[in-house]
Chain A
Amino acid sequence: MTTTERPERSVPKPQFTDAEAGAREFPDSGPGARRYNYYEPAKRKQTHYEDVTVDVQPDPRHYLSQGWIYGFANGEAGYPLHWTKLKAWGVDEPEPQRGPGSGGLQVKQWPAHGWHEFRDPNEEWEMTFYRYNANVVRQVNQNIDNAREGKSFEQWTPNWVRFVERNVGAWMHIEHILGLYVFAACNRSGPTNMHNTAMAVNSMHKIRFAQDLALYNMTLTEEISGFDGTAHLDAWNNDPAWQGARKVTEKLTAVDDDWGESVFATNVVFEPLIGELFRSNLVMQAAAQNGDYVTPTVVGAAEHDFSARDLRWTQACFGPLTQDREFADHNKALMQGWLSDWVPQCLEAARAMQPLWSMPDAKPPRFEDSLDRAKNRFAAIVVDLGLEIPKELKQ
C-alpha cells in the first residue's frame, strides 16, 4: 500500500496573541472602559437597544465637527429638525458655527435639544424585530394550517365568506399603503435614529400584515369553493363603504412635509377610530358567531402589533412633546389642530363603513356601540398624551 504525498495546503496559521480583555493593565483596560461612553442613557443603565441605536445618525449639534457634507439643492442637509412643525426644547438654539480654527465645538450640555430624549419603549433593533415578526408569521401560518387540516372553513356561513373576501380583503390595501407610504416613507425624515428606526419597525408590521391578509386570501381561494380572491379589489375600488376609509388613508400619505403629522394622524387618530373599529370591533367580534375562529387570529396578530407596540412608541414619542419644557403650548396647539382636522375625516369614513355591520348572518355588536368603544379608546389615548378630547369627536 502506498500513500500519495500531497503538497502542504496554504492556510493561515493561528497564533496565540493573548489579546483578550484583562490580559494586561494599561489606561482604559478596566471594566469601566467597556461601555459606549459617548451618550447618556435614558435610565441608569445603558440598554442593548440604546447601544446599537443611539447616535448612529449624527447631529451637528453634538459631535459632527465638519458638519453635513452632502446637501439637497435647496441647501438642506442631513436630518433637518424642521421636517415637522413639532418642536422639542432647544431646537431654536443656533447650531455651533464651525470654521477656521474653531475646533469641534462639541456641545457640553447634551442633549442640546429634546428630540434626543426619545427612546422606543419597545427597544426594537434587528434581533428583536426578527424574533417578533418571525414568531407572528409562524403563529399565523400554524393557525391557518390547522384550520385547513380541520376543514374549519366549511363551517363558515355563506355571507361570512362574502364578508371576508370583500372586506377583510379590502383592509389589506390600507395596511399596505400606511406601511409603505406613511411609515417607511417617513423613516428618512425623523430627527434621530431612534425615531426613524421606530418608524421603520412600524412599517414592517403594516407591510407584513398586508401580506398576511393577501396570502390568507390566497389560501381561502384554494380552500373555499366559490371564494372570490379578487373581490377585495372591487370592494377597495368601488364599494362606497370603503371609499371614505380609502380617502383618509390616501390623505395620510399626502400630508404636506410633516412626518410628525403623518405619524400622529395615523397612529393616534386613524388607527383607533377606523383601524380598531374595523379589526377589533367588527371582524374579531363577528367571526366566531359566523363559524370562523381563524380570521380573528390573523387579524389579532396585527391588533397586537398596534396596541402593544406601535401605539406604545407613538405615545412615547408624542406624549413628552406636550410636556416639553419649552414648546409644550406650541405642540399642544399643533396637535389639537391635527385632531380637529383628522377626527371629522375619520368619523365620516367610519360612518360610511356602517353597512359592513349588517353583512354577517350572525350580527356583531351594533355599529353605534362599536363606534362608541372606538371613540372611548381614542379619547383615552388623547388624554394620555396630555391633549384635550376634540369637540369634533361628538359628531
Chain B
Amino acid sequence: MSRQSLAKAHQKIQELAWEPQYHEPYMKYGTDYTFRKASKKDPLKQVLRSYFPMQEEKDHRVYGASDGAIRGNMFRQVQERWLEWQKLFLSIIPLPEISAARSMPMLFHVVPNPELHNGQAIQMIDEVRHSTIQQNLKRLYMNNYIDPAGFNNSLRNFQGDYCGTIGRQFAEGFITGDAITAASIYLTIVAETAFTNTLFVAMPAEAAANGDYLLPTVFHSVQSDESRHISNGYATLLMALSDEDNRQLLERDLRYAWWNNHRVVDAAIGTFIEYGTKDRRKDRESYAEMWRRWIYDDYYRSYLVPLEKYGLVIPHDLIEESWKQIWEKGYVHEVAQFFATGWLANYWRIDAMTDTDFEWFEHKYPGWYDKYGAWWENYNRLATPNGHNPIVFEDVDYVYPARCWTCMVPCLVREDMVTAEVEGQHRTYCHEVCRWTDVEAFRPTYQGRETPNMGRLVGKREWETLYHGWNWADVVSDMGFVRDDGKTMTAQPHLDLDPKKMWTLDHMRRCPPLLSPNVLLNEMSDAERAAYVADYNKQGPAGRPAPASNA
C-alpha cells in the first residue's frame, strides 16, 4: 500500500468511530484522570490491510533465521554464560508482553478517543505476537542448547522464583489499578518508550556478540512494533496534559513508573549485559554507557524534557539519582553479586568472573576490583562442591540483604535502605522512593486528593518469608529446581556439566536453614530494629559488613 493510499485508508476507517446511541459500554476499569479538554488524534495511522502482510513478512524473516540458526549449528558458538541468563529473561518476558495486550482494553474504557482505540487494538495484537514468539524462541533454545534444564520448566520456575516475582511487576503493573497509571504511564510512557531500548536493542546486540543471533532476530522484530506503541502512549499523554487537574497525578505516576522501571529493568538487563557476556573488548559499550545513550540522552533529554513546555513535571532528580545509582553506587554490580550469592535459589547456572572480566570491569568502572574483585575470586574458589557450603553460607565478607517491599529487589545500596511500619508490619525499602511508592503513592488519597482508582501493592512480597526456617534441600525441591535424576540442582555456580562437579540436594541438606530478613526484623524490639538499620546503612559496598565501631 502506498503512503498516500494508506493515509486515505486511515482517514476512511475513522468513519468507524462509534458514538453510543442506545447503550454505553460497561466501564469495568477506572481512572482518577480526566479528559475533558483533550484533542482526539490517532498518531498510529495503521490499517489491518497493510498490517497483517507486514507482520507476516517479519515473521517469515524470524522463522527463516531460526531454521538457519539450527542448520548452521549456531549452538556450537553460543556462549553458555550468556544463554544461561536467558533462562531467567525468557521465563519473565512473555508475561509482561501478554499483560500489555490485556491492558489495552483498560484504555478503551477510560480514554475517550475512538480514533486512538484503533491503535490500542493493534498494540493488543502486537503484544500477543511478542508473547508467543518469545515463548517459541525459548522452546527453540530448549530443544537445541546443550542444557535444557531451566528452559523446560520455565514457567513453573518463574512463577515460584523471587526473580520472577520482581519481573512480574513489569506485567501486573500494566493491568491493575488506575488504568492510566498502569496501561499508559507505566507501560507505554516509561517501560516501552524508555526501557525497551535496553531490553530489545542493547541486549540483543550483546547476544550477537556471544554467538546468539536468534535473540536479536526475534527482539529486533519485536522492537520494530514498539514505535507504534510509543505513539499510543504519547497521544494519551498529550490528552492527559491538556487537563490541568491531571498534572499532580502525572507527576506522581512518572516518579513511580520511572523509579520502578529503573530498579527492575536496570537490575536485570544490567546484569545480563555486564555479567552474562564473554565479549570483553575494551571499546564495547558498558551498560552504563548504553544507559547514558539510550535512556538518558534518547529518552530523557530528547523525549521527556521537551514535554516540560506542556506542563509535565519531569522527575529530574530521580533520573539523576538513577544515573548515580548505576555509575557511582554500583547498582548493577551489587545486583549481579546478589544473584550469584543466591544462585541456589534460582534455576540457571551463573559463570564466575575471570581475570579477563576483572580487567574489563576495572577499565569500564574504575575502582571495581577493590570493591568486587575479592568476592568474585571467592565465588570461583567455592564454585564446585568440595566439602564447603555454597558461598552464601561461607565467610566472604557478605551480609545477606533485606528485601525491598516495593520493588522486591534486595536493598543492595546499603546506605539508602529505609524502613517504615505499614499496616502493623515493619518493612524495608531499598530507597526512599520505594518507601514513598508504598506508603504514599499506592494509596486511596494522595497529597490530600482522593485517588479511589489507584492500585495496591499486595501479595507475599518477601520471598524468603515463605521458606522461613526451611532446610535448603526442601526449598529447592519445593520450587522444583531439580534435574531429572531427582537430586542434581538445576542451578549451579559454574558452567561445568560434569555431574561430579554439580551441586545436589545432598549438599543443600547440610546447609543452615533459610531465614527471612523480614520475619526477623519484625521479631526485633524497637531498639534492636534501630540498631539493625543503623548497622545496615553502614554496610557495603559489595555487601561488606559495617566497619567495627571505634566506640
What is the interface of chain A, defined by CB distance below 8 A to chain B?
A: 10, 12, 14-24, 26-30, 32-39, 48, 51-53, 55-58, 62-73, 75, 77-78, 98-104, 106, 125-127, 129-131, 133-134, 136-138, 140-141, 172-173, 176-177, 179-181, 184-189, 193, 196-197, 200-201, 203-204, 207-208, 210-212, 214-215, 217-218, 229-230, 232-233, 237, 243, 246-247, 250-251, 253-257
B484 touches A27 (CB 8 A): yes
Chain A hits for B159, CB < 8 A: 55, 58, 62-65
User: Any chain A CB within 8 A of the CB of B242?
Assistant: no
Bound: A295/B378 CA distance, A: 74
**Nearest CB in chain B: distance from A131 CB, A:** 6
User: Any chain A CB within 8 A of the CB of B106?
Assistant: yes
B142 touches A187 (CB 8 A): no
Say whether, besides A65-B460, A250-B20, A100 and B124 are in contact (CB < 8 Å): no
A185 touches B105 (CB 8 A): yes
What is the chain A residue whose CB lies nearest that of B283? A10
What is the chain A residue whose CB lies nearest that of B477? A103
B169 touches A211 (CB 8 A): no
User: Any chain A CB within 8 A of the CB of B95?
Assistant: yes
Chain B hits for A196, CB < 8 A: 98, 101-102
Say whether, besides A51-B139, A69-B165, A250-B20, A130 and B144 are in contact (CB < 8 Å): no
Bound: A34/B147 CA distance, A: 9
Residue-wise, chain B 197-215 has the 8 Å CB interface mask toward A (1 for contact) of: 0000000000011110000
What is the chain B residue whose CB lies nearest that of A210? B16
User: Any chain A CB within 8 A of the CB of B9?
Assistant: yes
A67 touches B458 (CB 8 A): yes
B129 touches A137 (CB 8 A): no
Which of B9, B148, B160, B454 sits near A33, CB closer than 8 Å?
A: B148
Chain B hits for A100, CB < 8 A: 465-466, 468, 516, 519
A71 touches B145 (CB 8 A): no
Bound: A57/B94 CA distance, A: 9
Residue-wise, chain B 107-131 has the 8 Å CB interface mask toward A (1 for contact) of: 0110000000110010011001111
User: Any chain A CB within 8 A of the CB of B26?
Assistant: yes
User: Any chain A CB within 8 A of the CB of B309?
Assistant: no
What is the chain B residue whose CB lies nearest that of A102? B466
Which of B22, B103, B125 sits near A251, CB closer than 8 Å?
A: B22
B466 touches A71 (CB 8 A): no
Closest 7 CB pairs of A and B: A20-B75, A27-B483, A38-B156, A12-B209, A63-B159, A134-B56, A52-B135
Bound: A256/B95 CA distance, A: 28
Which of B144, B453, B480 sits near A20, CB closer than 8 Å?
A: B144
What is the chain A residue whose CB lies nearest that of B175? A188
| Given A98-B460, A177-B18, 16 more pairs with CB closer than 8 A | A17-B79, A22-B146, A28-B149, A55-B159, A62-B159, A63-B159, A64-B159, A68-B459, A69-B169, A69-B172, A70-B459, A101-B467, A180-B117, A197-B98, A214-B15, A218-B12
**Nearest CB in chain B: distance from A316 CB, A:** 19
Which of A19, A22, A27, A186 sits near B79, CB closer than 8 Å?
A: A19
Which of A65, A186, A214, A217 sits near B466, CB closer than 8 Å?
A: A65
User: Any chain A CB within 8 A of the CB of B297?
Assistant: no
B146 touches A24 (CB 8 A): yes
**Nearest CB in chain A: distance from B347 CB, A:** 11
User: Any chain A CB within 8 A of the CB of B385?
Assistant: no
Residue-wise, chain B 274-290 has the 8 Å CB interface mask toward A (1 for contact) of: 00001101011000000
A14 touches B176 (CB 8 A): no
Which of A38, A70, A257 sits near B169, CB closer than 8 Å?
A: A70
Task: Enumerate 26 A-B pairs (CB-CB under 8 Å) in ascending A order.
Answer: A12-B208, A14-B211, A21-B145, A26-B502, A28-B483, A34-B143, A52-B135, A53-B132, A56-B98, A58-B155, A58-B159, A66-B162, A66-B165, A69-B408, A70-B173, A71-B176, A71-B457, A73-B454, A99-B466, A100-B466, A102-B466, A134-B53, A180-B118, A197-B128, A200-B128, A229-B12
How many A-B pairs have beta carbons closer than 8 Å: the answer is 388
Say whether, besides A34-B142, A56-B155, A69-B457, A256 and B59 are in contact (CB < 8 Å): no
**Nearest CB in chain B: distance from A55 CB, A:** 4
Within 8 A of A (CB), among B35-93: 47-49, 52-53, 55-56, 59, 63, 73, 75-80, 83
A127 touches B455 (CB 8 A): no
User: Any chain A CB within 8 A of the CB of B154?
Assistant: yes
**Nearest CB in chain B: distance from A265 CB, A:** 13
Bound: A26/B148 CA distance, A: 11
Chain A hits for B283, CB < 8 A: 10
Helix, strand, loop or mixed for chain B's interface? helix
Bound: A127/B47 CA distance, A: 19
Bound: A63/B13 CA distance, A: 44
Bound: A134/B498 CA distance, A: 49
Chain B hits for A77, CB < 8 A: 172, 176, 458-459
A186 touches B48 (CB 8 A): no
Bound: A374/B73 CA distance, A: 56
Bound: A130/B499 CA distance, A: 44
Chain A hits for B408, CB < 8 A: 69
A52 touches B77 (CB 8 A): no
User: Any chain A CB within 8 A of the CB of B3?
Assistant: no
What is the chain B residue whose CB lies nearest that of A136? B52
A215 touches B211 (CB 8 A): no
B94 touches A20 (CB 8 A): no
Say whether, besides A77-B176, A98-B460, A20 and B73 are in contact (CB < 8 Å): yes
Chain B hits for A208, CB < 8 A: 48-49, 52
Bound: A189/B29 CA distance, A: 11
A72 touches B177 (CB 8 A): yes
**Nearest CB in chain A: distance from B89 CB, A:** 15
Bound: A136/B143 CA distance, A: 33
Bound: A23/B279 CA distance, A: 23
Which of B13, B148, B211 sits near A211, CB closer than 8 Å?
A: B13
Bound: A137/B53 CA distance, A: 8
Say whether, besides A12-B279, A100-B465, A63 and B156 are in contact (CB < 8 Å): yes
What is the chain B residue whose CB lies nearest that of A244? B22
Which of A12, A27, A71 sits near B499, CB closer than 8 Å?
A: A27
User: Any chain A CB within 8 A of the CB of B452?
Assistant: yes
Bound: A193/B454 CA distance, A: 25
Chain B hits for A103, CB < 8 A: 466-467, 470, 474-475, 478
Bound: A30/B142 CA distance, A: 11
